[in-house]
Amino acid sequence: MAEPHTQEEHFDVLTKTGEKTGFSKPRGDVHRDGDYHRAVHMWIFAESTQELLLQLRADCKDSWPGLWDISSAGHISAGDSSLETARRELQEELGVILPNDAFELIFIFLHETITNGGQFINNEFEDVYLVTTLDPIPLEAFTLQESEVSAVKYIHYLEYKNLLANEDPEYVPYDVNAQQYGQLFDIIARRYKVDNVARSLTLQKQLQRYASVSLNVEELRKIYSDSLKKFIPYVDRLVGLTDADKGALDLLIKAAAIMDEIFYLQVWYSNPYLRDWLEKHAAASQLDKLKWAYYLINKTPWSCLDENEAYLTTADSAIKLLSEATRPVNGWKGLEYKAAFPSQKPPGANFYPPDMDKMEFIRWKDSLTEDQQNVVAGFFSVIRRHSESSSDLSIGSSGLGSINRLEGSTYNLYNVPFSQEYNSFLSEAAELLHKAGDITSSPSLQRLLHSKADAFLSNDYYESDIAWMELDSKLDVTIGPYETYEDTLFGYKATFEAFIGIRDDKGTAQVKFFGDNLQVLEQNLPMDNAYKSKDVSAAPIRVVQLLYNAGDVKGPQTVAFNLPNDERIVKDRGTSMVMLKNVSEAKFKHILQPIADVCITNEQREFVDFDSFFTHTIFHECCHGIGPHTITLPNGKKSTVRLELQELHSALEEAKADIVGLWALRFLTLQGLLPGASLKSVYATFLAGCFRSVRFGLSEAHGKGQALQFNWLYEKEAFVLNPDETFSVNFDKVEDAVESLSREILTIQARGDKESAKLLLQKYGVMSEPLNLALHNLERIQVPVDIAPEFPIAKEILGKKQFGI
């Protein structure tokens, strides 16, 4: 650990939870006063020999001189970040130069000690990083900092653990208790003492939760191919499309596939390397085949249906070679390391620096002008550090020199628009969209494609989103950055996605009525009239047969979406909805009906039907467009629900759309506007749907929002658990319970009341005992949790490689 410089080093003062306070103090004052601060510990681990690298502390050190210690360590100076400090200390002490993706943050340990008769108080958050190399680095490759390090050596991790446990006097002491520094040894042991047979069985069970479904389209004909001697789905036999649109479809699916490339990068900066590595080695063994198959569903190393628990580790990741990371050694090709990713899914994904905390961003944002604040908290940009090279963070970046920086002079953060961060991908996608726009026969589709292509390069999506809302084409296209679910730090940043389909004209005509009644619903919402909007626009609804989706479509598949999310457009023009009918049909057949057979009492099972499921889905999407969006805070300031509720917004908004959708169905039925609708079917189908959605996990916005609704309605006795472990709806109490929850959520949103949102989700957004019972019964008979769609047409256009075949 480096000694302080001649001018005393300053540390950032932290809160007791580890966030920056905005103040810094000299090192001596920090230890005198017991202020919380931060340091980094770096361990270099050789995978082939299972050895850790240790350094011998120089004899001149003022603490633990001449003892064996961590590979490298150091305090984080004021204004510096954790990751850049880790890289710098490793370079200064050992002469090892590594990029960001070599460092895996494995845990954070709070070290609280008092020594020197109470004169030295050390309250230190220690960010513990693991660097995994394939083989030991030759000792002669290191360049040791003589004032810090006398020597280095490798030692087997279990031998080292035993030496620490026995308090060997030649080693700096660490508590190897599992709750403290023992985590290091436990992580390595779990990672490399795995039973591959058991792991394969686990992955098989995880895969079985998805029902593989081929999403064909009603208009799709199969033709006999004399050359292939079999029936094949082929794009030129899509009835209803003009020849020009058939040609455009080919280009659109290729553009949509590029959204996958961007999304992989948005999730985590080493994710594309992991994907390529898993694909390359998928045929090596049955376990490798299963890893790749499950990765194709999740698109990340974290399992969507398991609260984002990692099903892969850095040991499974890509091997990268650095020929100039250290001093050259004859006969040694260079340092080979594993591209790292954390076991816990990063809340900020790859939108923010991996070691940035919320307070750092907030203080920087508050230092900017109001216009700049809107940009950095907007949908279409990422946040980076001046002190880090873009090449360490982004494959798609065009480099620091061309980035339009938006910064506060004393801060280490700056803003990068998507159009520059993902320039290489977006330029290719824009070219494809322009080509498709040139040949399509639909004027509105032509307008959408050209404006979206322009938006990809300008970063201004307003006009293209208006064009999307006004789309009137047999070929239906949604492409661009929209949803913010991946940004669980703030809920600000949008991920790229694409949905390509064919409009179902009959279904679209049938649902037009729902969108036309949004103003009526707004004026009758169960909340104070002061919060209601008087200019809600009718919401166009398009029913679509999905041909292909890409980008942020991992894990559980959406059955509908309501866009755009840009509050400016929602305020000016409202929203538009797309219903994916063939996806809804597949989910009802393969999932919801079997759930009802297990979880709904026999007397009410007959009420569960597809029409109620699909109709409530429509109302869910409609109700995203009503209720509070742009709001006035108690202090008179204008804001939005998204900005005020931050990371809580997505879950609460999904709950609102669901429960208010249920309220709206009853309201219109009682007004005589939904002839033939059965409220009993609506409520019973909704109850079955609760068990479907919570199986997505509570880390997912829809799952958490659904848990909130179920537990509220269960507490109000609107849902009843029967002695035979089935559930039923209390039709006498459900209407009041639905209205009371609708009022609660709408009022929280209207007030921008984050504290109340937090309390509501903490109390009700949990996996309660009744929910656990239902999920256990579904697990027992292995009802699928969701579908894994296959896209025959896209497979023909893109080829098998795009689909991991």
pLDDT tens per residue across span 753-793:
999 999 999 999 999 999 999 999 998 888 899 999 999 98
Is 577 a residue whose pLDDT tops 70? yes
Three-class SS state of 489: coil
Answer for the pair 786, 207: CB distance below 8 angstroms, yes or no: no
Residue 802: predicted pLDDT: 60
* 608 CB burial (10 A radius; 0-12, 13-18, 19+): buried
In 10 A of CB 418, how many CB atoms? 26
**Residue partners of 226: CB distance under 8 A and separation at least 6:** none
| Poorest-pLDDT segment among 66-80, 399-413, 624-638 | 399-413
**Amino acid found at 390:** S
Task: Provide the token pair at 695.
Answer: 């199986």
Name which of 373, 348, 315 is nearest 45 in CA terms: 315
| Bond before 443 cis per omega within 30 degrees | no
**Residue partners of 564: CB distance under 8 A and separation at least 6:** 461, 465, 468, 469, 482, 570, 575
Is 220 a residue whose pLDDT tops 80? no
Residue 555: predicted pLDDT: 95
Name which of 263, 210, 252 is nearest 552 in CA terms: 263
Answer for the pair 124, 37: CB distance below 8 angstroms, yes or no: yes
Name which of 540, 543, 578 is nearest 558 in CA terms: 578
Q: What is the pLDDT of residues 695-720, one digit of tens each?
A: 888 888 889 999 999 999 999 999 99
24 has which bridge partners?
Answer: 12
Distance of alpha carbon 237 from alpha carbon 400, whole angstroms: 47
Is 227 a residue whose pLDDT tops 50? no
Residue whose token pair is 């209205």: 739
Residue 224: predicted pLDDT: 27
Is 409 a residue whose pLDDT tops 60? no
* 563 CB burial (10 A radius; 0-12, 13-18, 19+): buried
DSSP of 733-761 = THHHHHHHHHHHHHHHHHHT-HHHHHHHH
Handedness of CA 797, 267, 313, 694 (dihedral sign): negative
DSSP 461: -
What percent of the chain has pLDDT above 90? Answer: 75
Distance of alpha carbon 68 from alpha carbon 227, whole angstroms: 71
Distance of alpha carbon 226 from alpha carbon 218, whole angstroms: 24
Distance of alpha carbon 2 from alpha carbon 111, whole angstroms: 18
Strands 719-721 and 727-729: antiparallel
The number of residues in the chain equals 805
Q: At what angle do helices 443-458 and 462-469 cross, to 10 degrees?
A: 160
Answer for the pair 541, 462: CB distance below 8 angstroms, yes or no: no
Residue 801: predicted pLDDT: 52
Query: Considering the entire predicted model, what is its pTM?
Result: 0.84
Q: What is the pLDDT of residues 327-361, one digit of tens each?
A: 999 999 999 999 999 999 999 999 999 988 888 89
Q: What is the pLDDT of residues 312-328, one digit of tens each?
A: 999 999 999 999 999 99
Task: Provide the token pair at 624.
Answer: 């995203």
Distance of alpha carbon 199 from alpha carbon 536, whole angstroms: 52
In 10 A of CB 178, how many CB atoms? 10
Residue 382: left if φ>0, alpha if ψ -120 to 50, beta else—which one?
beta
Task: Provide the token pair at 661.
Answer: 């959708």
Name which of 704, 732, 708 is nearest 720 in CA terms: 732
Residue 386: predicted pLDDT: 87
Answer for the pair 35, 20: CB distance below 8 angstroms, yes or no: no
Distance of alpha carbon 731 from alpha carbon 719, whole angstroms: 9
Strands 786-790 and 210-214: parallel
Residue 138: left if φ>0, alpha if ψ -120 to 50, beta else—which one?
beta
Helices (H), 397-504: 418-421, 423-439, 443-458, 462-469
Name which of 391, 384, 413 is nearest 79 in CA terms: 413
Three-class SS state of 446: helix
